[in-house]
């Protein structure tokens, strides 16, 4: 790694080595998730070879893809020391908007419906962001409110109506079912989105501002970071991403009513936390959150294959969440003294 | 180049700044001195764009400027090294230095190689060896301060403001910093140096401004000044009348701390406090003084060592045990830890003595009031009504309420952490008189203070901590500003207890 080589000339007193250790611990998080994934898949596959069949894996990947895409936005919000609970409702209403668009304009150009989903999501994200930053209300409360409000609007709009698969053109549902070289389109979309987001979160000033704000909000203000504007942006992004995810969701599940996406916010937050994003902001990666989504979905499917009741599967997701948090505490407790003793030499 | 004229700033009822004026010239290092609470930091924060003055003018190159936020101040070419480091624990050292102004490459992407390179260059200039990739979390206070300094040097600032930058630094680091400050000054930058170390002011500055109680006292060229004239202007009266600790009969040891250790925070702390004695724990911010106090009181559990009161060992990690043994703790942060700001004055005073006030598990309003009134009168609290919430009081009077709360329990050991931080000079003297009286009545007082004059004036003995270890112990006669500062910066470690 080039980074290691470059740091060599400052590590005269052996700090390079302990740095490498801290870095390994840091990366260990994502490695740990991959390891857990491998174990789950292997154990389940031994028990039931159908688990690693093509269709089964494809289904798994498609379902995880939606959560992973949502997790991108949620990660950004959580990194700024906020939380967005309204993404499930936003996904639901934008999926419904897309469905209604197909009912009224069966021949609409497909990219348009993604723009519609994005616009609907962005609008609600903007509302979240405005309330949080202008009125300085904690985002937990704001988005809990909008979770219900948006669901209410959705219910009012949809009534008992359901947009069925018959209203959706094949060109659209293909996005949910189609594959390239065996990989579902949705999986490819999620991988691409996660890759772009991971890179962007590392490479742009605005993205680093998100981390700074979550790490120490007062210092962020002193450093001249426009904290309110950045937090607003995080919510707008999260909303827009949830909107696009709504369009993907519809393409996968093929029908939408007023309760679409209910409870997704918690699946997503669980994935983000399991993926190593600190719940109080400042650290974590989009990649980790996406892997967290994949792990939780894999466990879910594995338990079905292993004939474990679905009640257990949520209990296990919960236990995993607690384990992830305990691991975090343990890790930071371990790292803290190591970092403290690692003072720089005085010259 | 930059001037602030007659700026005022109030926070609620507290007038932090009543007449803040300063004029900075290019190619000049300007010293700003004053006691804690004189308004120096408020003035600095106005220059930084953190606070907007309530009145007064800020001029840059003769034009009036208004800073709504810190970015505008930065854009005007002002770089500030804040007194308390403001780092991002999760970000790397290099990112901390360049946050908001990271070097970019094509497509507005951060050029992290260049960022690391420039960080190493900056550190070389400062003579610091620190890994640019390590997270800021866990850096010592001195290292954090160095990162702050590096941060200020990244921009081509025309005005550099250093708010007590040397408090945590070693002598070599201070010399390097001064070398850089002189170089910047000679290149035509204006340097504002806020410090209470007068030797450093004489070392670096051409002119000095003294502030007292939020007001500009005077600005004079350095060659007209001596340490004595500056101190007199800062204090505004003789030192002796400010810190009136009277001789009290030294009784038997009451608080005995033996080899107290808390992993990674402090190590092997041993000392006694006798009845009638005030012992000061001195040291720099972050030396572990408050942590020792918290461990004695049992808020934090010590890993090793013992605390005994009147010869009886206290159960570890139990504030209840400490309280029933007669220990009281007046914490450093009275807003967060000492008071319940929304509760009334009388409720706060009676809070630690409810056992004495209660009848059948209820708290009769009248009894609580009578109880509180008694103590409020003894401490000469200035208040509106006993039922007003505590936040309506000034800082000094809030501190009296905290003291009243603990004195009402008639403690045998009283630990006070920064008892006069952020309170006005008059009340300060009253608090000092009160502590002196307490000692006279045979209470063992352990005082943590960052103000050297207070330590020198009040303490019968001074114990100095540096990075969690005792680096010096001085009796009243040997305790001098120099001796304490040397021990507090860890420059001399051979003193035996």
DSSP codes of every residue in A74-126: HHHHHHTT-----HHHHHHHHHHHHHHHHHH-TT--HHHHHHHHHHHHHHHHH
Number of neighbours of residue A182 by Cβ within 10 angstroms: 10
Q: Is B11 exposed, middle or buried (0-12, 13-18, 19+ CB in 10 A)?
A: exposed
Burial A15-50 (b: 16+ CB within 10 A, else e): bbebbbebbeeeeebbebbeebeeebbeebeeeeee
**Least Cα separation, residue A340 to chain B (angstroms):** 5
Say if residues B416 and B330 touch (Cβ distance below 8 Å). yes
Residues from chain B that touch A214, judged by Cβ atoms under 8 A, are 90
Q: What is the pLDDT of residue A195?
A: 96
**Least Cα separation, residue A227 to chain B (angstroms):** 11
Contacts of A184 (CB under 8 A, 6+ apart): A58, A61, A62, A65, A176, A177, A178
The ranges assigned to domains in chain B are 2-87+139-236, 241-488
- Least confident stretch, A59-73, A173-187, A263-277, B186-200: B186-200
Rounded CA-CA distance B457/B439 in Å is: 14
Contact B129 A10 (CB under 8 A): yes
Task: Give which of B21, B461, B119, B438 is closest to B272, Cα–Cα.
Answer: B461
Element (H, E) at A304: helix A286-305
Classify residue A340: in a domain, yes or no.
no
Contact B88 A219 (CB under 8 A): yes
Q: What is the pLDDT of residues B205-214, one digit of tens each?
A: 999 999 887 8
Tokens coding B404? 């009243």
Residues from chain B that touch A341, judged by Cβ atoms under 8 A, are 264
Rounded CA-CA distance B48/B161 in Å is: 9
Contact A336 B264 (CB under 8 A): yes
In this predicted structure, the answer to whether residue B244 has a pLDDT above a threshold of 70 is: no
**Least Cα separation, residue B133 to chain A (angstroms):** 8
In this predicted structure, the answer to whether residue B98 has a pLDDT above a threshold of 60 is: yes
Contact B108 A6 (CB under 8 A): no
Contacts of B263 (CB under 8 A, 6+ apart): A337, B303
Task: Give which of B449, B484, B451 is closest to B470, Cα–Cα.
Answer: B484
Classify residue A20: in a domain, yes or no.
no
Rounded CA-CA distance B123/A15 in Å is: 16
Residues from chain B that touch A204, judged by Cβ atoms under 8 A, are 108-110
The CATH number covering residue A152 comes to 1.10.3470
Rounded CA-CA distance B210/B352 in Å is: 41
Residues from chain B that touch A209, judged by Cβ atoms under 8 A, are 99-100
In this predicted structure, the answer to whether residue A17 has a pLDDT above a threshold of 70 is: no
**Which A residues, 217 through 256, put their C-beta within 8 Å of a C-beta on chain B?**
218-226
A210 at interface of B, judged by CB pairs closer than 8 A:
no
Nearest by CB to A336, which of B70, B132, B138?
Answer: B138
**Which A residues, 145 through 174, put their C-beta within 8 Å of a C-beta on chain B?**
none
Contact A223 B86 (CB under 8 A): yes
Q: What's the rounded mean pLDDT across residues A192-207?
A: 95
| Residue spans of beta strands (DSSP E) within chain A | 179-180, 183-184
* N- to C-terminal Cα separation, chain B: 51
Contact B91 A202 (CB under 8 A): no
ipTM strictly over 0.90? no
**Least Cα separation, residue B388 to chain A (angstroms):** 27
In this predicted structure, the answer to whether residue B357 has a pLDDT above a threshold of 60 is: yes
Residues from chain A that touch B138, judged by Cβ atoms under 8 A, are 335-336, 338-340, 342
In this predicted structure, the answer to whether residue B271 has a pLDDT above a threshold of 60 is: yes
Contact B135 A219 (CB under 8 A): no
Task: Give which of B50, B33, B44, B42 is closest to B15, Cα–Cα.
Answer: B42
Could you give the C-alpha distances from B365 to B33, B354, B368, B371, in angstroms and in order? 48, 12, 5, 10
Q: Is B252 exposed, middle or buried (0-12, 13-18, 19+ CB in 10 A)?
A: exposed
Contacts of B37 (CB under 8 A, 6+ apart): B213, B421, B422, B423, B424, B425
Mutate to test the interface with B, among A331, A339, A341 (most CBs of B within 10 A): A339
What are the residues facing B271 on neighbouring strands?
B257
Q: What is the pLDDT of residues A61-119, one digit of tens each?
A: 999 999 999 999 999 999 999 999 999 999 999 999 999 999 999 999 999 999 999 99
Residue written as token pair 């669980």: A270
Contact B131 A15 (CB under 8 A): yes
In chain B, the residue whose alpha carbon lies closest to the alpha carbon of A227 is: B69
A280 at interface of B, judged by CB pairs closer than 8 A:
no
**Which A residues, 288 through 317, put their C-beta within 8 Å of a C-beta on chain B?**
none
Nearest by CB to B134, which of A22, A203, A218?
Answer: A22
Tokens coding B248? 């009290």
Q: How, if at all, do strands B14-24 and B2-11 pair?
A: antiparallel
Nearest by CB to A347, which of B69, B127, B137?
Answer: B127
Fold of B2-87+139-236: Rossmann fold (3.40.50)
Residues from chain B that touch A226, judged by Cβ atoms under 8 A, are 69, 71
Alpha helices (H) in B49-84, listed in sequence order: 70-75
Contact B137 A336 (CB under 8 A): yes
Classify residue A344: in a domain, yes or no.
no
Residue written as token pair 């202008």: A134
Q: What is the pLDDT of residues A301-322, one digit of tens each?
A: 888 888 887 778 778 878 877 8
Element (H, E) at B464: strand B461-466
Q: What is the CATH number of domain B241-488?
A: 3.40.50.300
Task: Give which of B271, B264, B265, B259 is closest to B304, Cα–Cα.
Answer: B259
What's this model's pTM, rounded to 2 decimal places?
A: 0.75
Classify residue A111: in a domain, yes or no.
yes
DSSP type of residue A49: G
Q: What is the pLDDT of residues A239-268, one digit of tens each?
A: 999 999 999 999 999 999 999 999 999 999
Question: Of the spans A30-39, A76-85, B115-124, B279-288, which averages the highest pLDDT?
Answer: A76-85
Q: Decide whether B2-87+139-236 matches B241-488 in CATH topology.
A: yes
**Least Cα separation, residue B20 to chain A (angstroms):** 21
Q: What is the pLDDT of residue B438?
A: 87
Q: What's the rounded mean pLDDT across residues B36-41?
A: 76
Q: Total domain count for chain A? A: 1
Q: What is the pLDDT of residue B167?
A: 67
Rounded CA-CA distance B274/B431 in Å is: 20
Which sign does the torsion angle of CA A137, A141, A143, A146 carry? Answer: negative
Could you give the C-alpha distances from A137 to A130, A142, A226, B21, in angstroms and in order? 10, 7, 17, 37
Query: Is residue B454 helix, strand or coil?
Result: helix
> For residue A150, what are the domain limits?
30-328
DSSP type of residue A251: H
Position with higher pLDDT, B237 vs A346: B237
């Amino acid at each position: 790694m080039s980074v290691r080589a470059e740091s060599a000339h400052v590590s005269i007193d052996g700090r390079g080595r302990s740095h490498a250790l801290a870095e390994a611990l840091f990366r260990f998080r994502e490695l740990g998730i991959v390891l857990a994934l491998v174990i789950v898949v292997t154990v389940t596959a031994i028990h039931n070879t159908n688990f690693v069949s093509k269709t089964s894996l494809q289904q798994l990947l498609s379902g995880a893809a939606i959560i992973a895409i949502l997790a991108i936005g949620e990660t950004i919000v959580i990194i700024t020391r906020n939380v967005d609970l309204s993404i499930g409702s936003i996904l639901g209403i934008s999926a419904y908007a897309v469905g209604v668009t197909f009912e009224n304009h069966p021949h609409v150009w497909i990219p348009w419906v993604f723009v519609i989903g994005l616009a609907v999501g962005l609008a609600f994200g903007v509302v979240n962001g405005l309330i949080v930053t202008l009125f300085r209300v904690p985002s937990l409360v704001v988005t809990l409110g909008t979770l219900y409000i948006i669901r209410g609007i959705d219910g009012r709009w949809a009534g008992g109506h359901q947009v069925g698969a018959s209203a959706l053109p094949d060109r659209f549902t293909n996005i949910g079912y189609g594959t390239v070289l065996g990989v579902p389109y949705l999986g490819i979309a999620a991988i691409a989105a996660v890759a772009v987001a991971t890179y962007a979160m590392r490479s742009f000033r605005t993205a680093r501002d998100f981390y700074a704000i979550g790490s120490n909000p007062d210092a962020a203000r002193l450093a001249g970071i426009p904290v309110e504007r950045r937090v607003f942006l995080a919510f707008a992004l999260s909303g827009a991403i949830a909107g696009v995810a709504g369009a993907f969701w519809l393409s996968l599940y093929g029908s939408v009513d007023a309760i679409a996406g209910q409870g997704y916010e918690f699946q997503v937050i669980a994935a983000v936390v399991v993926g190593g994003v600190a719940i109080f902001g400042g650290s974590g990666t989009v990649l980790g959150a996406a892997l967290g989504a994949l792990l939780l979905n894999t466990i879910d499917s594995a338990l079905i294959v292993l004939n474990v009741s679905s009640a257990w599967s949520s209990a296990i997701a919960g236990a995993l969440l607690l384990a992830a948090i305990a691991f975090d505490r343990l890790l930071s407790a371990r790292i803290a003294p190591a970092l403290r003793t690692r003072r720089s030499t005085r010259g | 180049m930059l001037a602030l004229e007659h700026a005022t700033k109030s926070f609620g009822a507290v007038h932090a700044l009543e007449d803040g004026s300063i004029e900075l010239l290019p190619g000049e290092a300007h010293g700003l001195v004053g006691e804690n609470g004189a308004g120096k930091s408020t003035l600095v924060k106005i220059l930084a764009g953190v606070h907007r003055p309530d009145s007064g003018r800020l001029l840059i190159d003769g034009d009036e400027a208004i800073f709504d936020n810190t970015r505008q101040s930065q854009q005007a070419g002002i770089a500030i090294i804040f007194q308390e480091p403001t780092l991002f624990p999760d970000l790397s050292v290099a990112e901390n230095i360049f946050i908001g102004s990271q070097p970019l490459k094509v497509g507005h992407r951060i050029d992290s190689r260049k960022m690391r390179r420039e960080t190493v260059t900056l550190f070389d200039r400062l003579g610091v060896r620190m890994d640019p990739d390590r997270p800021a979390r866990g850096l010592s206070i001195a290292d954090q301060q160095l990162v702050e300094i590096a941060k200020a040097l990244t921009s081509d600032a025309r005005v550099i403001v250093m708010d007590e930058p040397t408090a945590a630094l070693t002598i070599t680091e201070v010399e390097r910093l001064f070398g850089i400050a002189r170089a910047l000054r000679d290149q035509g930058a204006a340097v504002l140096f806020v410090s209470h170390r007068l030797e450093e002011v004489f070392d670096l500055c051409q002119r000095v401004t003294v502030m007292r109680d939020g007001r500009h006292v005077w600005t004079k060229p350095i060659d007209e000044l001596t340490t004595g004239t500056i101190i007199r202007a800062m204090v505004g009266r003789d030192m002796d009348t400010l810190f009136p600790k009277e001789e009290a009969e030294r009784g038997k040891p009451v608080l005995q701390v033996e080899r107290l250790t808390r992993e990674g925070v402090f190590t092997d702390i041993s000392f006694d406090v006798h009845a009638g004695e005030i012992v000061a724990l001195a040291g720099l911010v972050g030396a572990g003084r408050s942590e020792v106090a918290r461990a004695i009181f049992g808020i934090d559990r010590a890993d090793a060592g013992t605390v005994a009161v009147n010869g009886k060992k206290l159960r570890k990690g139990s504030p209840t045990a400490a309280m029933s043994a007669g220990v009281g703790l007046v914490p450093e942060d009275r807003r967060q830890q000492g008071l319940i700001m929304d509760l009334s004055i009388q409720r706060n005073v009676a809070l630690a003595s409810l056992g004495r006030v209660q009848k059948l598990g209820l708290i009769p309003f009248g009894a609580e009031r009578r109880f509180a009134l008694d103590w409020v009168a003894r401490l000469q609290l200035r208040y509106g009504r006993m039922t007003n919430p505590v936040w309506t009081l000034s800082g000094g009077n809030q501190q009296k309420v905290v003291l009243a709360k603990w004195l009402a329990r008639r403690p045998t050991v009283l630990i006070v952490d920064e008892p006069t931080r952020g309170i006005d000079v008059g009340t300060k003297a009253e608090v000092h008189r009160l502590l002196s009286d307490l000692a006279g009545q045979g209470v063992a007082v352990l005082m943590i203070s960052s103000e050297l004059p207070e330590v020198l004036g009040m303490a019968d003995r001074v114990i100095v901590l540096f990075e969690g270890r005792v680096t010096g112990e001085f009796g009243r006669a040997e305790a001098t500003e120099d001796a304490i500062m040397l021990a507090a910066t860890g420059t001399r470690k051979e003193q035996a207890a």
